Structure 1
Amino acid sequence: MKYIEHIKSIILFLLVALSMTLTFLTWNYKPKYQTIEDIQVEHVALGEQKALNRVVKPYRLLFKGEENFTGTISSAVIDTLMDELSEMEANDLTLINHNLSDDKVNEMLRMPNRMTLFFQADVPIPTFAAMLPFHNTKDIPETTFDRIVIDWSYLSTTSQLQFLFINSDNRTLYRSVVKVDNKTSFKRNFIDQAAKFDNYMEIERPGTKSLYVLMNPTEVVPYTYSVGTISTELLKRILFTDPNIVQRNIESTQSERYTDGMSLMRLDMQNQSIHYVYPPAESLSPIAPSILMKDSMDFLNEHGGITEDYRLAAMNYQKHIIDYQMFFEDLPVYSDTTFTRVSTTWGDNRIFRYRRPYYVFDMNLPDDKAAKELASGPRVIEQIQSNLTTNINDINDLVIGYYLEHDANAELITLEPNWFMLTENGWERLTSEQVGGVEYGLE
């Protein structure tokens, strides 16, 4: 028993030594971690992003000189104007009139040294402020306009333009004075060029706004394109959170259905479009027009959804809907059988509905078709009054555009020039027949 205390001391020493060794090893232990490479998230896109001023822009510029109206729909001229606006600065907006009469609108456009920008849809002024910088953006009202009259009467002496923002439906008129740093450029690109643009005629109508139509017959080239399509797999990867669980169901020869249990995408072969909906996001909570515009554009630009020349065409901010109309060669494209718009409906912090064409123009196919001569605007007005039951006062605008059709196998796209009548019910093609060698667009 005399060795028990010695044995205890040795064991205690060993335990202390072991504890110190383990502690030392723990402090100095460096595990060999495998290097984790950065995960690259694949960005899926249909096309390139589009600048706001290439989507929200006028479809026509109308100039009033000392005597005559001239105008242009040229994207080159319009884009140059939109770019120059970004180099200017506007002062505060002033409400001039909240009960603007149609006669007053007509009078403003007739005054010399003025240019009018026509927009298809109401444009929120805060959205426009992202393209034309304002001196004070905090006080810009959440209001909209569909025409801007630019008065350059005092440009040479003051280096300033007067901007008149008109809302035809709400009958409001706002004014802002805009400083022009490069008045030489503005004069060269627009004022000096105005006389070279197409001649327009004002069609006066009692008690309502005038129409402005091309004075002379116009030749427009028809086109034929082979059809390309956006792949369903690409659309699935863009619109569904987990494309791997999406189920496909062929409903008919003209319709396919894709769903993940929460959202639905339907392919409409007849209209060559897809219609996506995410029901949980449905919301009618108020959204300011400028916020709605930003949400819609951000969504589309995230996946390059503005694949062709689509331009703002309609806005219903109460229902959160924004439509973008297809344009081709500076002309709007319409169709009875094929969808020619991109439409977004915003929901609760995300997209609720999304409808768009899934066809794209692939290759221009040369053919033997000659340019089509369309009648002058006054001639079209005459034929409408003679042959149609439509009241001339019910027409919002008369424009030249393209009528789009697919062939029976959806392998070719034809784009045929025509006059179109725009009313509250939408557009109507004025079909053509030959009279005296001139296609005047009615039958």
Structure 2
Amino acid sequence: MQNKELIKTIILVILVLMSGVLTYMTWNFSPDLANVDNQTDKDKQTHAIGKPLNQGMEQVVTPYQIIHSKGEDTEGVTATKDNVKTMLDPLMDQRVTRAERMHSQHNLIIPDLSDDFVVLDFTYDMPLATYLGQSLNISAKIPNNFKFNRLLIDQSHNGKVQLYAVSKDRHDVVRMTTTAKTSKLKQALSSLNKKMQPYTEIITSKDTIDKATHIYAPDDPKGLKSYRTIYNRISVDAMNAILFNDSLVVRSAKSGTTTYNNNTGVANYNDETERYRYTNLSEDEDRSNNMKDTIPSTFDYINSHGGFTDDFRLFSTNNDSGELTYQLFLNGRPTFNEKDLNQIKVSWSEKGIFSYARSLLKTNVTIDSGDSETDLPGAEEVRSSLANNRTIDFEKVTDLAIGYTMNDKPDNKDIEIQRNSEFTPQWYVEYDGKWHPYKDGRLE
């Protein structure tokens, strides 16, 4: 009997001690927050395909060329990110103190434009309020819903910069007086001066006969290099994690296309082309064509998961369908590819992303191809050839630019096929709203 009581006492003591230890551990417990943070970071990384841009929308919504017109001399420079930043710095964080809209039924003439001004050309039209507010952080009260694709930077009599936003049809302009200093503008031009090359002024129609509305193109492009890019691949799982919020049904087809879907969306991925396209099925509303919302919203969405994996820039805006195209640039020049491997196409709706299409390739390294440098025909030769081509309505030529043709070249010699492309310089012409490669006097 005494032994039983002794055992009970010992067990009771042990239980009391264990209770004390557990109470102490509970009160003094400190979770390993470092590990939790690390796990959270890992989760976030699985929902990203690259690093977000560390600056604002001005890295993606940019001009494609910078022109300086001074008297009879016209020079220009490619729109590398450094060149664009240098030119725009004098305008950043300023204010518009006065704005006035002007309209012309015929050729647009700006009477007070000086003979020394800068032209920023864009390949798309966009709301002026969006560009000033989102890209330049300029405070401005300007006409609602005005769209532009050319910005003239001029100097006023009081030492302040004056801006002229010109509409795509060259019949409307908004004149803006700013707080930006002319002295800062001159400093920016001075730093770009040594990079400038001669440019030609081209007239294609009655809408381009004034110095404010000419088409500008490189005068005599010579010594242009070709480049070769080797790619890494973006994981399909990473894209699905970004765009889908729950489990997926996966279906494969003999054509090499795999379909992923759930109750909210569907995506298709093609192994051969390495193109991925997502459509949101949960959006009852049609895609939005309000570019004041679509441009900043798509930028924020793509950038939030590091989607601008290379030098992608806004290249076209479709005001009817609401679709935007972000296109790959190389050394400040646009690239072109028949399979759209150089594009991100995206549209927005009232509630969020509506569609999203892109190649799942991103640059690993870009090097000089080693080929001989290329001399392209001069801008005047291109103009003359197009004007004399009976199959072309020359008045429908709205822009000329040097870009890079992206030729897809898989290397089958590698044990694991390494996807790569060669970029070769070529003239491109915007004709009737679409860009075409120019070769031997014709548009391809």
Task: Flag whether TM exceeds 0.5 (same fold).
Answer: yes
Asked whether the equivalents of residues 61 and 117 of structure 1 are also in contact (C-alpha less than 8 Å), the reply is yes
Distance 1:285 1:169, change over 3 A: same
Note closer, same or farther for the CA distance 1:136–1:148 as it changes in structure 2 (3 Å cut).
Answer: closer
CA contact (8 A) 2:90 2:188 kept: no
CA RMSD in angstroms, aligned pairs only: 3.0
Provide the rounded CA distance (Å) in 2 between the counterparts of 1:67 and 1:54: 32
Partner SS, residue 238 of structure 2: helix
The Cα shift of 1:365 comes to: 5.0
Once the two structures are TM-superposed, the CA of residue 333 in structure 1 deviates from its matched residue by: 0.6
Q: Does 1:104 align with 2:103?
A: no
1:396 deviates by: 1.4
User: Do the aligned residues in 1 keep the contact of 2:58 with 2:136 (CA within 8 Å)?
Assistant: no
When residues 206 and 263 of structure 1 are mapped into structure 2, their CA distance, relative to the original with a 3 A threshold, is closer
User: Is structure 2 residue 218 aligned with structure 1 residue 219?
Assistant: no
The change in CA–CA distance for 1:441 and 1:320 in structure 2 (over 3 A counts) is closer
* Other-structure match for 1:177: 177
What CA distance in whole angstroms lies between the structure 2 residues aligned with 1:343 and 1:113?
Answer: 38
Please list the CA deviations of residues 215-270 of structure 1 after superposition, one character each: whole Å capped at 9, or x if unmatched.
2132211111223211112111111112xx22332223442212224311111345
Counterpart Cα distance in 2 of 1:151 and 1:58? 17
Extract unaligned runs of 5+ from structure 2: 1-22, 209-213, 413-417
- Is the CA contact (8 Å cut-off) linking 2:402 and 2:426 kept in structure 1? yes
Task: State the 1:160 CA deviation.
Answer: 0.6
Q: Is the contact made by 1:282 and 1:348 (CA closer than 8 Å) also made in structure 2? A: no
Distance in 2 separating the partners of 1:252 and 1:69 = 56
Sequence identity percentage: 19
Pair 1:236–1:87, CA change in 2 (3 A): same
- TM-score normalised by the chain length of structure 1: 0.81
CA drift of 1:153 comes to 5.1
Cα contact 1:323–1:342 (8 A) shared by 2? yes
What one-letter code is carried by the residue in structure 1 that aligns with 2:434?
G
Q: CA deviation at 1:353?
A: 0.3
Is this contact kept in 2: 1:91–1:134, CA < 8 A? no
| 1:286 CA displacement | 6.0
* Secondary structure, counterpart of 2:135 in structure 1: coil
**Equivalent residue number for residue 201 of structure 1:** 200
Contact kept in structure 1, 2:369 and 2:422, CA below 8 Å:
no
Mean CA deviation greater in 80-89 or 120-129: 80-89
Consecutive unaligned residues of structure 1, counting only runs of 5 or more, are 1-28, 433-439
How far apart in 2 are the matches of 1:108 and 1:49?
A: 44
Write the distance in 2 (CA, Å) between the matches of 1:388 and 1:288: 38
Q: Which residue of structure 2 lines up, in the alignment, with residue 301 of structure 1?
A: 303
Cα distance in 2, alignment partners of residues 323 and 109 from structure 1: 35
Query: What's the TM-score once normalised by structure 2's chain length?
Result: 0.80
Residue 241 of structure 1, aligned match among 245, 248, 269: 245
How far apart in 1 are the matches of 2:145 and 2:112?
A: 25
Q: Give 2:344's aligned amino acid.
A: V
1:132-281 maps to which residues of 2 (within 5 A)? 132-137=136-141, 141-152=144-155, 154=157, 158-169=158-169, 171-181=171-181, 183-190=182-189, 193-194=192-193, 197-209=196-208, 210-242=214-246, 245-281=247-283
Deviation at 1:112, TM superposition (A): 0.8
Letter in 2 for 1:216: D
Corresponding residue number in structure 2 for 1:6 = none
Give 2:52's aligned residue: 49
> Which residue among 84, 89, 93 is the counterpart of 2:95?
89
Give the secondary structure class of the aligned counterpart of 1:294.
Answer: helix
Q: Report the CA distance shift for 1:94/1:133 in structure 2 as closer, same or farther (over 3 A).
A: farther
Q: Is the 1:205–1:393 Cα contact (8 Å) retained in structure 2?
A: yes
Structure number, greater radius of gyration: 1
Pairs within 5 Å for 1:348-367: 348-364=350-366, 367=369
Measured in 1, the distance between the counterparts of 2:402 and 2:354 equals 33
- Residue 68 of structure 1 is matched in structure 2 by 73
Q: Secondary structure at the match of 2:115?
A: coil
Q: Partner of 1:369: helix, strand, or coil? A: coil
Is contact 1:120-1:313 (8 Å) kept?
Answer: yes
Note closer, same or farther for the CA distance 1:131–1:352 as it changes in structure 2 (3 Å cut): closer
CA shift digits 1:10-40 (9 cap, x unpaired): xxxxxxxxxxxxxxxxxxx999587666665
* Equivalent-residue separation in structure 2 for 1:316 and 1:194 (angstroms): 35
Q: Residue 13 of structure 1 corresponds to which residue in structure 2?
A: none
User: Number of paired residues?
Assistant: 398
SS in 2 for 1:219: coil
